[in-house]
A and B are shown apart, each in its own frame.
Chain A
Amino acid sequence: MVLCQNSPAGRLCPPIGAPRLLSATDPKPLASTIVRDDEAKLVSAAKAGDAAAFEELVNRYERKIFRLGMNITQNREDAEDVMQEAFLKSYTNLDRFQGDSRFYTWLVRIAVNEALMKLRKRRPNQVSLDEPLNDGEDPVFREIEDWGPSPEQKFAQTELNDILNSVIGELDPIFRVAFLLRDVEGISTEETAQILGISEAAVKSRLLRARLKLRQKLNKYFRRSEPQ
């Protein structure tokens, strides 16, 4: 959970849901008094015009959405655009949010769509969101070598980050997104299926291929023998 940065203790706030206009002398909205876990109340208040309630949702999720954008697009400017568009679109379309999923799930869906659009714009002939044809590779039993107990400790943190960014960037976007949502963001299979508009079985299938491909790509760095 991301800690809210705009919650000065002891500040008086208007009643929940009361529209609050922002003044030029105090442009930072007052923090909502709603407890952190009560996302539905924040959304209701935001729908009623409470800008501070929406800002609290932003404070809660901005880091996660930026990280997701970075991990999908592998580009800081794109990630910033993805984050801005996700929050602005979710604010503009808040009335359309029916509450049949968590707000966060809906927000992630918008962010994923924005990020995939960025990828398609960048490489229109290379990025397909269709299920890739079998490339003939068997990612499972080509290289079977033990890694030892803590293989990541062979590398300094910066070097490890570069390796992880590199291998995840090599995955097809549909596998990359499935892996990021399930294994990095910790979103359930059911919610990942909602976000991607596919079945849970398809999520599991993509996740399996993503995990196996990443394992194979990391093998050259982490196997017990010296890295290449």
Chain B
Amino acid sequence: MNCKKVILELTSYLDGVLDSNMRADLEQHLARCTDCRVVVDTTRKTIQIFCNSEPVPLPEDVRQRLHTALLDRFRRNAKTI
């Protein structure tokens, strides 16, 4: 496997959906290619950092306006039944 092929298979590899033979080939390449190892490692960290980032909070005033709008829609809907 060469560097270009590693990049093409990177998403499947990081998602754990690469078949076992391909994964073994890729990992053999990683063992001897520092550049690809760094790209794989930093791409994995990119995903982890976003996954672990603080969730955007839902402000209470925004939530209240949503539920008021829904309540209005429920009432209008009930009148038409």
Question: Which listed residue, B35, B55, B74, touches A141 by the CB 8 Å rule?
Answer: B35
Answer whether A88 and B11 are a contact pair too, CB < 8 Å, given A70-B56, A184-B50. no
Is the pair B7, A157 in contact by a Cβ cutoff of 8 Å? no
B65 CB-CB contact with A under 8 Å: yes
CB contact under 8 A between A29 and B74, given known A58-B67, A66-B58: yes
Q: Contacts A66-B58, A164-B50 known; A144 to B38 CB distance under 8 Å?
A: yes
B69 lies within 8 A of chain A by Cβ:
yes
Interface size class of A (residues with CB under 8 A): 35 or more
- Complex CA–CA separation, A141 to B40 (angstroms): 11
Determine the main DSSP class of A at the interface with B: helix
- A160 surroundings in chain B (CB, below 8 A): 49, 53
Secondary structure of the B contact surface, majority rule: helix
Q: Shortest distance in angstroms between A176's beta carbon and chain B's nearest beta carbon?
A: 11
Closest B-chain residue to A147, C-beta based?
Answer: B42
A-B contact count (CB 8 A): 118
Given contact pairs A88-B70, A92-B73, A189-B15, a sample of 17 additional A-B residue pairs in the complex whose CB atoms are under 8 Å apart: A29-B74, A49-B78, A51-B74, A66-B58, A67-B58, A83-B62, A84-B69, A91-B77, A146-B38, A147-B45, A204-B11, A208-B11, A212-B7, A212-B10, A215-B39, A218-B42, A218-B49
What residues of chain B have their CB less than 8 Å away from a CB belonging to chain A? 3, 7-8, 10-12, 14-15, 35, 38-39, 41-43, 45-47, 49-59, 62-63, 65-67, 69-71, 73-75, 77-78, 81
A-B contact pairs, 25 of them (CB 8 A): A21-B78, A22-B71, A27-B71, A49-B77, A58-B70, A62-B58, A63-B58, A66-B56, A70-B56, A71-B56, A84-B69, A87-B70, A88-B73, A92-B73, A144-B35, A144-B38, A146-B42, A161-B53, A168-B50, A208-B10, A211-B46, A212-B7, A212-B10, A214-B46, A222-B45
